[in-house]
Chains A and B, each alone.
Chain A
Amino acid sequence: MLEVVGLRKSYGDLIAVDGVSLKAGKGETIGLLGPNGAGKTTTVSIIAGLVRADAGEVRIGGRILKGDTDSAKRDIGLVPQDLGLYEEMSARENLHLFGALYHLSGAHLNHAMDEALELVGLKERAKDKVMDFSGGMKRRLNLAAALLHDPQLLLLDEPTVGVDPQSRNAIFDNLEILKKRGKTLLYTTHYMEEAERLCDRLVIIDHGKVVADDTLQGLHRMVPVVSLLKIELEDGKLDGLCVEDLRAVSGVASVELRGEILRIGVRDLATDSAGILQWLVDRGHPFQHLASERASLETVFLNLTGRSLRD
């Protein structure tokens, strides 16, 4: 459905996008992850035809996207990060305008508006002015406005910025429905939990370059830390513990001490855990509580880029 090849874009000396390539098949949801200023929005803007790339090309359904009036743009629905709505107009008036931009009119447009409002749960508020909506409702309407012309590819540029958890869940539900309907979603975010919940595949972008493109499982395999062992030592048994020595133990990838809790990154939980625990007991650091968890995408991201997602 979407194929991006070697996109480049500079603003003066700043290289915003540096050879970005990615693919998204029909019905697939791709997460475009990166910290602020990584080049996510510029990439989405080029795909949507808002910004002209210095090099590279965008193919929608196999066709290269060219020019402002290219009919291939009808296959794209853009949900901009900034709310793309007129506050002084009602929800329905907004949708009427944005549907008309795609040459929809009459009964066809009315039907599309009803369907979009139904999906995002705003049918009852259709005649209310947007200025009277909550932040979450505006975000939902922002999504609805991109659906009127029934696009096959939906570009979602941080669609949940600044919304409460309830509205965020509502938007996720909407996106899952769209996914089931076979829409291709390109979802930019810096919220790991959103990406983990929605995306089939993740493209991590940093300094304008793709640093990883894989499934969540695949990304986990790319980094040394797969699991995290959280060990709470018995009272007073932390004294004399040498973290550097612990790092040298077989299977240990990282060691972090947070209060009384030791957080040890291990490469293979099943085979390495026993040796690590034995090493602690042998050196007089018995533990009273033990837990393990899978390394988060945040950890993966940190490992790949050296930066936190929210930097």
Chain B
Amino acid sequence: MMIPFLALVRKDLRLFFSDRRAVLMSVVAPIAIASFFGYIFGGGGGNTGNNSPIAVLVSDQDGSTFSREIVNRLKAESTLDIKPATPESAREAVRLGKATAAVLIPKNFNVDAARAFLFGGAKPEIGMLFDPSHGVEMRMIQGLMAGAVMETAAKQMMSGRGSPKGGLTLPFRMSPEGVTSGPGVKYNGYAHSFGGMSIQFLLMVGVDVGVALLLLRERGVWKRMRAAPLSKTALLGSRVASSAITSMGTLIVVFAFARVVFGVRIQGSMVGFLGVCAAFSLMTATFGLLIATLGKTAEATRGLAILATLLMVMLGGAWVPTFVFPKWLRAIAVVFPTRWAMDGLDAVTWRGLGFSTVALWIALLFGCALVFGVVAVMRFRWEAD
């Protein structure tokens, strides 16, 4: 039983490694895209201010000490890039996408704001023009603007004798801290992106395994294999084993690269990391096998499989973290194996968690692989059309 099984696995590995360009691409592609995503989503320093500041234009039509103080406070924010503009040029710049937002401080803002504050009545309006595709940044600018106005107003009101030096400010300071594997350990954005892209590419490899199996079925070598006294399980199982081995190898090489170049470390359980990698590799191999049972032809199957893969990758949080999903979608996402793998890799890399945390995900991935494999063996059409 083992002689043919091992020979088939060895053959698959030999064929895989004989195509050096394909081998190279299987690791280069996830590394390149993961590097890009890692860089734009915070890179090695996390979201700590290294990102490009948001371009905001300010049209100060009031020109008072009060309004200038507000503008100066905004300029002091490192996350904003404040530049002066007229209302017309500000609107045009936002429309053209050259600025994310524009703040329009109206004439007599100083006087109208003080009147409204002390005696009530109509409040002056600060115009906010924004690029609708940057809703998140807009909310952030609104918050910073409100803070700047309140601090400036408080300073002016309390600037008499005996008042605190520099006027009133907010009675607290925020002390943000990214919770990672330990105090002082910065979040490494590459950890998530390398996990996500590896998962995506390995699923694609799984699709290729399934499609290749359908194509193989129409070739003479398949007839030769089927003519031998081999069980279906051995024939398909060898395919699963070889695919899982190459996937596992790819994961390890990709993460080794991330370790050396971007400092991504397995800060949690190494056993947990290897467990997640092994379970996901096996899952993706049996997923490929399952793919081969879905369509009638290789061409039809490929289209269906790529759609299924992209859905799994997207809903599993490999592209963007699942917290940005609506609540109902987040609830659905937890049933996807890609989500378990992502959570598992995040846990053992930058979160620095132990094996017990990922044990359930590993078990779920192995269970999923078992179900996929059994269904695939039962459903696989052995005779070519």
Q: A78 to B224, Cβ gap below 8 A?
A: yes
Partner of B11, one of A69, A86, A142: A86
> In the complex, which residues of chain A have a beta carbon less than 8 angstroms from the beta carbon of B220?
80-85, 142
Nearest residue (CB) in B for A85 is: B221
Q: How far is the CA of A53 from the CA of B235 in the complex (A)?
A: 21
Within 8 A of B (CB), among A93-133: 93, 96-98, 100-105
Sort chain A's interface into a size bin: 35 or more
- Decide yes or no whether A257 CB sits under 8 A from chain B: no
Q: Which of A43-51, A216-224, A229-237, A263-271 contacts B (4 or more CB under 8 A)?
A: A43-51
Q: How far is the CA of A93 from the CA of B11 in the complex (A)?
A: 8
Q: A88 to B15, Cβ gap below 8 A?
A: yes
Q: Are A105 and B3 CB-contacts (below 8 A) given A71-B229, A73-B229, A86-B15?
A: yes
Q: B224 to A100, Cβ gap below 8 A?
A: no
- Decide yes or no whether B4 CB sits under 8 A from chain A: yes
> In the complex, which residues of chain A have a beta carbon less than 8 angstroms from the beta carbon of B229?
68-71, 73-74, 102
Within 8 A of A (CB), among B209-263: 218-232
Within 8 A of A (CB), among B1-41: 3-4, 6-8, 10-11, 14-15, 18-19
- Decide yes or no whether A32 CB sits under 8 A from chain B: no
- Decide yes or no whether B177 CB sits under 8 A from chain A: no
Q: B227 to A86, Cβ gap below 8 A?
A: no
Shortest Cβ distance from B238 into chain A, in angstroms? Answer: 10
Nearest residue (CB) in B for A151 is: B227
- Decide yes or no whether A145 CB sits under 8 A from chain B: yes
- Decide yes or no whether A177 CB sits under 8 A from chain B: no
Q: A97 to B7, Cβ gap below 8 A?
A: yes
Within 8 A of B (CB), among A135-157: 142, 145-146
Nearest residue (CB) in A for B229 is: A73
- Decide yes or no whether A15 CB sits under 8 A from chain B: no
Q: A97 to B11, Cβ gap below 8 A?
A: yes
Q: A101 to B7, Cβ gap below 8 A?
A: yes
Q: Are A78 and B227 CB-contacts (below 8 A) given A84-B220, A84-B221, A142-B220?
A: yes
Q: B223 to A45, Cβ gap below 8 A?
A: yes
Q: Are A82 and B230 CB-contacts (below 8 A) given A88-B18, A103-B4, A145-B224?
A: no
Q: Are A82 and B231 CB-contacts (below 8 A) given A89-B15, A97-B11?
A: no
- Decide yes or no whether B383 CB sits under 8 A from chain A: yes
Q: B383 to A51, Cβ gap below 8 A?
A: yes
> In the complex, which residues of chain A have a beta carbon less than 8 angstroms from the beta carbon of B15?
86, 88-89
Shortest Cβ distance from A113 into chain B, in angstroms? Answer: 13
Q: B227 to A93, Cβ gap below 8 A?
A: no
- Decide yes or no whether A185 CB sits under 8 A from chain B: no
Partner of B14, one of A80, A93, A101: A93
- Decide yes or no whether A76 CB sits under 8 A from chain B: yes
Nearest residue (CB) in B for A77 is: B227
Q: A102 to B228, Cβ gap below 8 A?
A: yes
Shortest Cβ distance from B6 into chain A, in angstroms? Answer: 8
Shortest Cβ distance from A11 into chain B, in angstroms? Answer: 8
> In the complex, which residues of chain A have a beta carbon less than 8 angstroms from the beta carbon of B231?
68-69
Nearest residue (CB) in B for A89 is: B14
Shortest Cβ distance from A308 into chain B, in angstroms? Answer: 27
Shortest Cβ distance from A140 into chain B, in angstroms? Answer: 14
Q: How far is the CA of A68 from the CA of B382 in the complex (A)?
A: 11
> In the complex, which residues of chain A have a beta carbon less than 8 angstroms from the beta carbon of B228?
73, 98, 101-102
Partner of B230, one of A52, A68, A83: A68
Nearest residue (CB) in A for B228 is: A101
> In the complex, which residues of chain A have a beta carbon less than 8 angstroms from the beta carbon of B226?
48-50, 68
Q: A80 to B224, Cβ gap below 8 A?
A: yes
Q: B223 to A48, Cβ gap below 8 A?
A: yes
> In the complex, which residues of chain B have a beta carbon less than 8 angstroms from the beta carbon of A104?
3
Q: A48 to B219, Cβ gap below 8 A?
A: no
Partner of B227, one of A48, A71, A97, A142: A48
Q: B219 to A82, Cβ gap below 8 A?
A: yes
Q: How far is the CA of A50 from the CA of B232 in the complex (A)?
A: 12
Q: How far is the CA of A101 from the CA of B8 in the complex (A)?
A: 8
Q: A80 to B230, Cβ gap below 8 A?
A: no
> In the complex, which residues of chain A have a beta carbon less than 8 angstroms from the beta carbon of B219?
82, 84
Shortest Cβ distance from B119 into chain A, in angstroms? Answer: 87
> In the complex, which residues of chain B have a beta carbon less than 8 angstroms from the beta carbon of A84?
219-224
Shortest Cβ distance from B227 into chain A, in angstroms? Answer: 4
Q: How far is the CA of A256 from the CA of B221 in the complex (A)?
A: 46
Nearest residue (CB) in B for A105 is: B3
Within 8 A of A (CB), among B179-236: 218-232
Q: A100 to B223, Cβ gap below 8 A?
A: no
> In the complex, which residues of chain B have a beta carbon less than 8 angstroms from the beta carbon of A81?
220
Nearest residue (CB) in B for A49 is: B227
Shortest Cβ distance from A141 into chain B, in angstroms? Answer: 12
Shortest Cβ distance from A199 into chain B, in angstroms? Answer: 22
> In the complex, which residues of chain A have a beta carbon less than 8 angstroms from the beta carbon of B11?
86, 89, 93, 97
Q: How far is the CA of A235 from the CA of B223 in the complex (A)?
A: 59
- Write 22 A-B pairs (CB below 8 A) sorted by A numbering: A50-B223, A52-B383, A68-B232, A70-B229, A78-B227, A80-B223, A81-B220, A82-B219, A85-B221, A86-B11, A88-B19, A89-B11, A89-B15, A97-B11, A100-B3, A100-B4, A101-B8, A101-B230, A102-B4, A103-B3, A103-B4, A105-B3
Extra contacts, 13 of them, besides A68-B230, A76-B227, A89-B15 (Cβ < 8 A), are: A49-B227, A50-B227, A69-B231, A74-B229, A78-B224, A78-B227, A82-B219, A88-B15, A97-B10, A100-B3, A101-B225, A101-B230, A103-B3
6 residue pairs, one from A and one from B, having the closest CB atoms: A100-B7, A84-B220, A82-B220, A84-B224, A101-B228, A80-B220
Interface residues of A (CB under 8 A from B): 45, 48-52, 68-71, 73-74, 76, 78, 80-86, 88-89, 93, 96-98, 100-105, 142, 145-146
